[in-house]
């Protein structure tokens, strides 16, 4: 798999078609972040497969949906499906609504023949911030599109969120990806449109259908070599913090109420012998201003002094 381009691979490797193989079910894994519409996409696939006369099993994890957590949904359909979950390395299609979530589930894709359809949208999770100091390195994925597409049988990186924004409703990004998947699954296009129109809220039918068509067209053009995979902007590179934190404390105003000491997330303040607040660990302070905001006596003022390195970076930018 030395060639990073998707087009030649698409022509070389046959896409597994529902019902063509026989006994083995077709496995579709839909992954993303809470709120993007993972469950909705998997429901549409399951409904359509059911209407086409297949046995369908679907299972999902969605508990973290409200908090922007990871959501995934397994859809399996075929003549006979026994288990509702897809074993590792046996997903025929992986539809990812977020870039890092797609990479997280890449091992589930069938080596060689699996089709990877991924939005290039990046939602950086809180836990990839390993250090609360501003300018600290992010633990977000660093793979580029060509790195990833080289690892899979057939890969497409679509900027579906951007396409959805162009359509005027950024929430239809999942339907763009569904359209892309519809080009790979050989159900009739009219059936896809019918099920989308039946399922989505009436007010958004037109924009959803347009999103479906655009996604489908994008893949068809990509297979002909007209479209190139969208590029993923490189994740923010580690930079030095371009300022130094300085606390200005007015000792005459401090009433030793202890709020700043107890509320500081980095625990870097303390009361001195006279019970006046002081910065005990200046290197730990991130300049979050919580102490300044919560001081009822206005005794703390946080200054973020620009350092020489920061000034230089600003000039370079």
Q: Which residues bind other proteins (CB under 8 A)?
A: 134-135, 239, 242-243, 252-253, 255-259, 262-263, 289, 292-299, 301, 303-304, 310, 313-314, 317
User: Nearer Cβ to other proteins, position 46 or 300?
Assistant: 300
Question: Between 212 and 277, whose beta carbon lies closer to other proteins?
Answer: 277
Q: Which of 160/279 has CB closer to other proteins?
A: 279
Per-residue H/E/C for 1-46: CCCCCCHHHHHHCCCCCCCCCCCCCEEEEEEEECCCCHHHHHHHHH
Least Cβ distance, residue 296 to other proteins (angstroms): 3
Nearest approach, Cβ of 39 to other proteins (angstroms)? Answer: 17
Supply 316's token pair: 């370079």
**Closest distance to other proteins from the beta carbon of 310 (Å):** 7
Cβ 167 to other proteins shortest distance, Å: 27
**Minimum Å distance from CB 35 to other proteins?**
12
Residue closer to other proteins, measured from CB, 113 or 256: 256
Least distance (Å) from other proteins to the CB of residue 279?
A: 18
Q: Which is nearer to other proteins, 190 or 273 (CB)?
A: 273
Give whichever of 125 and 135 is closer to other proteins, judged by the CB atom. Answer: 135
- Nearer CB in complex with other proteins: 132/303: 303
CB-nearer residue toward other proteins: 13 or 261: 261
In angstroms, what is the minimal distance from the CB of 314 to other proteins?
7
Maximum distance among all Cα pairs of the chain, rounded to whole angstroms: 82
Query: Least distance from C-beta 234 to other proteins, angstroms?
Result: 16
Question: What's the per-residue H, E or C state across the chain?
Answer: CCCCCCHHHHHHCCCCCCCCCCCCCEEEEEEEECCCCHHHHHHHHHHHHHHCCCEEEEEEECCCHHHCCEEEEEEEEECCCCCCCCCCCCECEEEECCHHHHHHCHHHECCCCCEEEEECCCCCCHHHECCCCCCCCECCCCCCHHHHHHHCCEEEEECHHHHHHHHCCHHHHHHHHHHHHHHHCCCCHHHHHHHHHHHCCHHHHHHHHHHHHHHHHHHHHHHHCCCCCCCCCCCCCCCCCCEEEEEEECCCCCCCCCHHHHHCCCCCEEECCCCCEEECCCCCCCCCCHHHHHCCCCCEEEEEEECHHHHHHHHHC
């Amino acid at each position: 798999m030395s060639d990073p381009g998707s087009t030649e691979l698409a022509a070389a490797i046959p896409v597994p078609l529902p019902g063509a193989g026989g006994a083995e079910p077709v496995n579709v894994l839909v992954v993303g972040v809470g709120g993007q519409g993972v469950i909705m996409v998997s429901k549409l696939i399951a409904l359509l497969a059911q209407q086409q006369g297949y046995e369908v099993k679907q299972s999902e994890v969605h508990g973290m949906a409200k908090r922007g957590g990871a959501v995934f949904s397994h859809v399996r359909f075929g003549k006979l499906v026994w288990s509702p979950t897809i074993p590792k390395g046996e997903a025929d299609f992986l539809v990812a609504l977020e870039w890092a979530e797609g990479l997280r589930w890449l091992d589930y894709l069938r080596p060689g023949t699996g089709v990877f359809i991924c939005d290039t949208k990046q939602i950086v999770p809180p836990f990839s911030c390993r250090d609360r100091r501003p300018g600290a390195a992010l633990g977000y994925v660093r793979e580029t599109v060509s790195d990833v597409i080289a690892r899979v049988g057939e890969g497409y990186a679509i900027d579906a969120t951007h396409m959805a924004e162009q359509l005027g409703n950024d929430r239809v990004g999942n339907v763009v990806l569904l359209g892309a998947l519809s080009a790979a699954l050989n159900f009739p296009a009219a059936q896809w449109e019918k099920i989308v129109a039946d399922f989505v809220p009436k007010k958004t039918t037109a924009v959803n259908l347009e999103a479906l068509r655009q996604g489908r067209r994008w893949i068809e053009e990509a297979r002909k070599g007209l479209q190139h995979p969208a590029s993923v902007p490189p994740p923010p590179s580690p930079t030095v913090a371009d300022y130094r934190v300085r606390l200005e404390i007015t000792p005459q105003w401090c009433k030793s109420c202890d709020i700043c000491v107890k509320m500081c997330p980095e625990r870097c303040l303390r009361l001195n012998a006279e019970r006046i607040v002081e910065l005990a660990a200046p290197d730990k302070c991130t300049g979050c201003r919580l102490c300044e905001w919560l001081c009822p006596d206005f005794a703390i003022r946080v200054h973020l002094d620009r350092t020489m390195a920061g000034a230089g970076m600003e000039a370079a930018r």
